[in-house]
Structure 1
Amino acid sequence: MFRKIHSIPGLAAALLVAVTAATGAVLSVQPALQRLEATVPARGEVTVAALAERVQAALPGVESIERKPSGLIVATWFDPDRPGMATIDPRTGAVTGAYEPSGTVRWITNLHRKLLADDTGRAVVGFGAAAMLLLTLSGTAMLAQRLGGWRRLFGPIRGSASGRLHAELGRAAVAGLVLSAATGLLLSATTFEFLPDGAPAEAAPAEASGGPALPVGELGALKAVDLADLRKLAFPDPGDPTDVVTLTTASGEATVDPATGAVLTAAENDAWQTASQWIYALHTGEGLWWLALVLGASSAVVPVLTGTGLVIWVARRRARPRIAHDAGAQSADTVILVGSEGNSTWGFAATLHAALTAAGHRVHTRAMNDVAVFRHARRVVVLTATYGDGEAPASARRFAERLARLPAAPAPAFAVLGFGDRGFAHYCGFAETVDAALAATGMARLLDLGRIDRQSAQAFSQWGADLGAALGIELALAHVPSRPRTSRLRLVAREDYGLAVDAPTAVLRFAPAEPGPSLHARLFGARLPSFEAGDLVGVLAPGSDVARFYSLASATRDGVLEICVRRHPGGLCSGFLNDLPVGGEIDAFVRANPGFRPAPGSAPVILVGAGTGIGPLAGFIRHNDHRRPMHLWFGARNPASDFLYRQDLDRWLAERRLTGLHTAFSRVATRTHVQDRLEADAETVRTLVAKGAQVMVCGGRDMAAGVAEVIGAALRPLGLTVEALKREGRYVEDVY
């Protein structure tokens, strides 16, 4: 719900919100500049009477004195020889310079308030303020939901580069944006009289007694008002003995007899008029120059939020296949829920959707995160991948909690199909969890849990036949996986390890292949895709459309794409890569892996890896430019044959990019594994975690399980668990 609330007004008002925020940011510096220009006496130092006397002596033709919210004193006079406006030193009454408001500032102000138009422009700007308020509140709610609740709103943020930037800036600016948008909306409402206009009270017309005027400095009503309370003082017409002095203060307006100094009429601001003054001050920052700068800084990030928001929206739209004939969620008889990490499961869902639609069903397909009560659905079919150690993929991470909150309703039948790789310990583990959760709700089972190994089109077709039989229809699912869009990369360097211990491993570095014949390639040349250390590269072996993924040990700015690959017996892709000669080429694509990156900040980082699991960890160390404490525990077979990155690690220790190196080797006399070394170093681990350290583990599943057990034992004296650290984002794994 929050995503729709957030995205629809964002897309509709993106340019308007960006323009009003940008102009507001420019105007925000004006109160500070005026405050620098103003001389502001302490309260009680200067009265309005004293100021008026001094100004009248310096400018005999003075008509009015105005105190700006910044404290700047501006006098307006009319004399046939010298008409104009001037700034005044309130302590002496001396003219300090001409007052000439900037034409550029006036233009920007008109653009900000009414888009250089009249009432239509004001109405559009009011809509923009409402959109900004809605975007800010819904975006904050989405972020809190994503981070696990309002208490974790200021916790570490993970995601793509544009997503992290969007969330970090939005979180930092939320208070300023809410204040700016809410006060702007109120001001717009008063402009169109949806609320009282809040104009200051005006005293009733009055006539002076007509006697000789006293010196202005002796008028009692003016002597009783401190300069800090003055808004405007208007002098009487010297040629009209019945004209009065008009005094406007923070609390209202009064007329004063220039012959006696007595107040003739007075009007006090009511509560709404007083509130309106505060609303205006809070929106503009006039009189609160420091607040103006805070609001300006918040507004300045809005154009960036607009840009990153559009990038996120476009990426989300591109990530899912277009599904034709998608029925409404509440009118469909069949609902397909999709759990996917890399979007390949959406392709299978689209094939199923098309087949069921062709068979006469009304079908609706959506992400598992968006599970709801589907009033007319007779069946729910879940297609889900499994991520990591039996965990939910990206589009299903909120499925369990949302399912648990659904109200009781007529339950449709269900079927679950899991996608995975039998080579993984938790093959289709999340699908099993979902199947059990749906059964626990009392829903009838349409089919037993199905499993698809390595995106097998044949297995998917067979499952489709079984589903069709359960529905009483013929269902032919002919799915052709779409080949991902790839880049052509050329191997420029390799380092081979592990031959002596029967574990052939290579560190491979790729650069863009030679530009192709396209115009774009000829103009711009070949480039590496954009990636960070810890992201994944999918490699397509010759003759295969199924990618194998490897963690990246480099970032785009390094100029090479670097991976560590161990040859696996019968491994199609690992064999291909280990045999690839320098100059050989591959087809590959990059997939972001934002969940496996060091958290922002300066807290220590504990890196644990074995074998090729050191790859992304080496990348994190290489880019540790701020020299935050990083400690690496690394396990291999023999230091003489497969100590990956040995020379680099020594150099990084000398450069203080790496703080501590702890190694374990299983094919030497001591025969220790990385978890054994961690157990021996439990006190060090405990100390680092107590200082806020994040733990990052990369390598095989058995190793990762052993590491989790050892670290869990080390944390018990602190009253912490690995599960608790995972919930805080302080224990992350990239295991295979």
Structure 2
Amino acid sequence: MIRTLHRWPGLLALILVMALALSGAALSVFPAAERLSTPQAEAGLTVADLAGRILAAYPGVEQIRRAPSGRITAFWFDDGTPGAAVIDPATGKGIASADPDPVKRWLTNLHRSLFLGDAGRIAMAIGAVAMLILSASGAMLVARRMGGWRRWFAPLRGPASSRIHTGIARVAVTGLVLSSATALWMAASTFDLLPDGAAPPTFPTEVSGSTGVLLAAMEPLSVIAVTELRELSFPYPGDATDAFTLKTDRGTGYLDQGTGELLAWAELTMWERISETIYMLHTGQGAASLGLVLGVLALGVPAMGVSGLVLWFAGRRSRPRLRGNHPAKGAATILLVGSEGGSTWGFAATLQHALTTAGQHVHVAPMSGFEPARYPQAERFVILAATWGEGQAPATAKGFIERLAALESVPEAPLAVLGFGDRSFPAFCAFADEVASRAAAKGWAQLMPFDTVDRQSPQDFARWGRALGAALGIELTLEHVPTPPVTGRLTLISRRDYGAEVQAPTTILRFALPEATFLQRLTGRGFGRFQAGDLLGVLPEGADLPRFYSLASGRRDGFVEIVVRKHPGGLCSGQLLALEPGQAIRALVRHNPAFHAAAGRSPLILIGAGTGIGPLAGFIRGNSSKRPIHLAFGMRHPDSDFLYRDDLAGWQVDGRLARLTTANSRGAKPRYVQHSLRAESAELIRLVQEGARIMVCGGRDMASGVADALTDILAPTGLTPLALKAEGRYAEDIY
């Protein structure tokens, strides 16, 4: 519901919202510019002193106004000719024209009404409503995605468009709520939907009938500071029944032009003060700094609008259309999906179709929207969950664990959990397993035991489907056909071969960088934007699913590079190692922001073995800022598989690599990379205490040995790899 409430106002009112935001951002500059360019009254200057100076310069003065910025404007008649000027309070003389700025007037008309009068004002009010709904619903979605309000500023991950959209929203949402709410108040006031302010004081029926009192002798004007003045209107010349009209920050009154006495006074009401505060908050008049801040925040709206459109289109492409998705409140089967790249939604669509065909009422939704009260007719819950990174929740399951933990009681309807993953990775289905374990610990009854699907296997899915059908007492056949991924063509331009002598053929493959459209570069899709540490998904001939390799290059390097070792019977590695320059493969890029060399000057400790050198070499190659990088690299034998040997030597010379330590597992004195770490424990402790980030890439056995070694090394400091990981200072790319 919240997602729908966020999506449609954004899509339908995007142009209006962007027009409001951009014109408002431009208008926010004027109060600050006016404040900076306006001479300010000296401390202690009274209204009487100011009026006297202006009257001396312009004897026919009729009115003096002071804007919230401190700008003073005088209006007069000189032999029947009207005049006006911005006044220097120090002299009372004009220093600039009082004519309105044509650019400001144009922007104001655009912002208020699109140059369309009342119809335009209504349209812009609708835009303000849309912005308020977008801001409120967006805040709830951000909190849901981050796993709660307390994790509002937790690190972001996912596609660039998603990080841009959420990152800007987290900062701008407060300002956008304030701007849209105050805009609606002002629109309601314009159309007389709010009570009017208090009436001015009744004009006195009795006056002295005399004229000519000196301004300096008028006590009210002599005690009121110019900083409190809003407007002073002079009596009509020759009319002894007229009076001075004085408006200040406190109220409005009339002064006798013959005696200077205060004839009547009316304080500003609370309603007027509220209205004026809202006007100040919205326009920045009287609060120029706040206006600039709100204007800067409003500039985030176009970026959020574009990134939101990109996310919407990407979502439509990645998620299959679910025909006949039953409303949540009437569904008996609730199917919740946790997906990162979108493939799990395809399995959900297959299951939903099969259950619907069998006569079930099925509602499909992301796990992040889990709320038991939404499903009053639920008879069973089914969760299909992928795993991201090292056992973390995928994008559409953020916050599920926290919601489950916060429940006072679990639903009575039983639960089935199916995990999706790749057994070659250490954290195979770890998130789905955690969901099942926590649900069981909470007392949630099982519909059927926890199960898994390896590498999107249709056979695994069909087997599980038969078991689900048996649990439901129906015949259920799941025939899932994976959707082929969108790939690009990569042509090999060079290869460097290693490892033949130790029976471990390994090759560094470099492909030409494919062309990318402007939109791809803007959104980061395809090969538009990638960096070392991201993943290259290679689609082997005769296969439906890609095999992933860590990238050893970024787009700025001008090529695509990976390191591949030949695995016995490996379909993809066999095809890759058989490639010759000029031949091509089909591949795609999957972003992996959890294994990027974050910007900064803090040291990097890179630890890898074998093909794990790939992304680490990419980090070093891209280290143009010469931050301290220390590399510990394990290999079999330096004469056979010292990958990037010449490159590493060159990077040491030019300062991109500060220190290189190697470990050889073959030879007279074999040792592994973790042994090298223990030998340099003092240096490692020093680097970690200086804020170093540790990045490990390679096989799971190597990574486990490294973690054990670092646990021992860092014990005297009270730090552990787990603690560093919680701080974002320990990252692994394990296979």
State the TM-score, normalizing by the size of structure 1: 0.91
Q: Deviations over 1:282-319 (max 9, x none)?
A: 22222333332222212222211221222223223322
Partner of 2:232: 233
**AA aligned opposite 2:36:** L
Partner of 1:254: 253
Does structure 1 conserve the Cα–Cα contact (< 8 Å) formed by 2:147 and 2:402? Answer: no
Query: Structure 2 CA distance, aligned partners of 1:233 and 1:76?
Result: 11
Does structure 2 conserve the Cα–Cα contact (< 8 Å) formed by 1:554 and 1:562? Answer: yes
Partner of 1:385: 386
Unaligned runs of 5+ in 1: 521-526
Query: Structure 2 CA distance, aligned partners of 1:688 and 1:5?
Result: 49
Query: Structure 1 CA distance, aligned partners of 2:194 and 2:681?
Result: 66
**AA aligned opposite 1:30:** F
Partner of 2:573: 574
Q: How does 1:552-591 map to 2 (within 5 A)?
A: 552-591=551-590
Give the deviation of 1:40 after TM superposition.
0.7
Query: Structure 2 CA distance, aligned partners of 1:197 and 1:660?
Result: 74
Partner of 2:22: 22
Partner of 1:347: 346
Query: Structure 1 CA distance, aligned partners of 2:393 and 2:154?
Result: 21
Q: Deviations over 1:476-523 (max 9, x none)?
A: 2222222112111110111112222222111111126799xxxx9xxx
Partner of 1:523: none
Query: Structure 1 CA distance, aligned partners of 2:264 and 2:172?
Result: 46
Q: Structure 1 residues 448, 200: closer, same or farther in 2, change over 3 A? A: same
SS at match of 1:86: strand
Give the deviation of 1:432 after TM superposition.
3.5
Partner of 1:290: 289
Partner of 1:678: 677
Does structure 1 conserve the Cα–Cα contact (< 8 Å) formed by 2:410 and 2:444? Answer: no
Q: Structure 1 residues 281, 448: closer, same or farther in 2, change over 3 A? A: closer
Partner of 2:705: 706
Query: Structure 2 CA distance, aligned partners of 1:688 and 1:201?
Result: 72
Does structure 2 conserve the Cα–Cα contact (< 8 Å) formed by 1:159 and 1:595? Answer: no
Query: Structure 2 CA distance, aligned partners of 1:695 and 1:648?
Result: 21
Q: Structure 1 residues 280, 602: closer, same or farther in 2, change over 3 A? A: farther
Partner of 2:549: 550
Q: How does 1:106-121 map to 2 (within 5 A)?
A: 106-121=105-120
Give the deviation of 1:440 after TM superposition.
3.5
Give the deviation of 1:424 after TM superposition.
4.1
1:301 paired to 2:311:
no
Q: Deviations over 1:647-688 (max 9, x none)?
A: 333333344333433332322444232222233333333333
Moved more, 540-549 or 671-680: 671-680
Partner of 1:470: 471
Query: Structure 1 CA distance, aligned partners of 2:177 and 2:716?
Result: 43
Give the deviation of 1:136 after TM superposition.
3.6
Query: Structure 2 CA distance, aligned partners of 1:2 and 1:618?
Result: 44
Moved more, 583-592 or 328-337: 328-337
Q: Provide the identity percentage.
A: 52
Does structure 2 conserve the Cα–Cα contact (< 8 Å) formed by 1:638 and 1:668? Answer: yes
Moved more, 302-311 or 641-650: 641-650
Give the deviation of 1:450 after TM superposition.
3.2
Partner of 2:454: 453
Does structure 2 conserve the Cα–Cα contact (< 8 Å) formed by 1:88 and 1:97? Answer: yes
Query: Structure 2 CA distance, aligned partners of 1:467 and 1:416?
Result: 11
Q: Structure 1 residues 528, 424: closer, same or farther in 2, change over 3 A? A: closer
Moved more, 195-204 or 688-697: 195-204
Partner of 1:635: 634
Partner of 2:101: 102
**AA aligned opposite 1:461:** A
Query: Structure 2 CA distance, aligned partners of 1:431 and 1:7?
Result: 28
Q: Deviations over 1:621-668 (max 9, x none)?
A: 333344444333322222332222233333333443334333323224
**AA aligned opposite 1:221:** P
1:160 paired to 2:159:
yes
Does structure 2 conserve the Cα–Cα contact (< 8 Å) formed by 1:203 and 1:253? Answer: no
**AA aligned opposite 1:18:** M
Unaligned runs of 5+ in 2: 520-525
Does structure 1 conserve the Cα–Cα contact (< 8 Å) formed by 2:534 and 2:551? Answer: yes
Q: Structure 1 residues 427, 219: closer, same or farther in 2, change over 3 A? A: closer
Query: Structure 1 CA distance, aligned partners of 2:256 and 2:430?
Result: 88
Query: Structure 2 CA distance, aligned partners of 1:178 and 1:508?
Result: 51
**AA aligned opposite 1:239:** G
Give the deviation of 1:197 after TM superposition.
4.3
Query: Structure 2 CA distance, aligned partners of 1:425 and 1:464?
Result: 26
Does structure 2 conserve the Cα–Cα contact (< 8 Å) formed by 1:27 and 1:105? Answer: yes
Q: Structure 1 residues 160, 198: closer, same or farther in 2, change over 3 A? A: farther
Partner of 2:40: 40
Give the deviation of 1:66 after TM superposition.
0.8
Q: How does 1:231-630 map to 2 (within 5 A)?
A: 231-373=230-372, 374-408=375-409, 410-511=411-512, 528-630=527-629
Q: Deviations over 1:302-346 (max 9, x none)?
A: 211221222223223322111221112222222222333332222
Does structure 1 conserve the Cα–Cα contact (< 8 Å) formed by 2:32 and 2:292? Answer: yes
Q: Structure 1 residues 149, 659: closer, same or farther in 2, change over 3 A? A: farther
Partner of 2:523: none
Q: How does 1:148-227 map to 2 (within 5 A)?
A: 149-198=148-197, 201-202=200-201, 204-205=203-204, 208-227=207-226
SS at match of 1:239: coil
Does structure 1 conserve the Cα–Cα contact (< 8 Å) formed by 2:552 and 2:614? Answer: yes
Give the paired residue count.
727
SS at match of 1:83: strand
Give the deviation of 1:539 after TM superposition.
0.9
SS at match of 2:187: helix
Moved more, 579-588 or 467-476: 467-476
Give the deviation of 1:178 after TM superposition.
4.0
Q: Structure 1 residues 454, 379: closer, same or farther in 2, change over 3 A? A: same
Partner of 2:666: 667
Give the deviation of 1:31 after TM superposition.
1.3
**AA aligned opposite 1:590:** V
**AA aligned opposite 1:574:** S
Does structure 1 conserve the Cα–Cα contact (< 8 Å) formed by 2:492 and 2:511? Answer: yes
**AA aligned opposite 2:13:** A
Does structure 1 conserve the Cα–Cα contact (< 8 Å) formed by 2:426 and 2:734? Answer: no
Q: Structure 1 residues 185, 650: closer, same or farther in 2, change over 3 A? A: farther
SS at match of 1:158: coil
Give the deviation of 1:48 after TM superposition.
1.4
Does structure 1 conserve the Cα–Cα contact (< 8 Å) formed by 2:417 and 2:449? Answer: yes
Query: Structure 2 CA distance, aligned partners of 1:118 and 1:266?
Result: 36
**AA aligned opposite 1:662:** T
Moved more, 563-572 or 621-630: 621-630
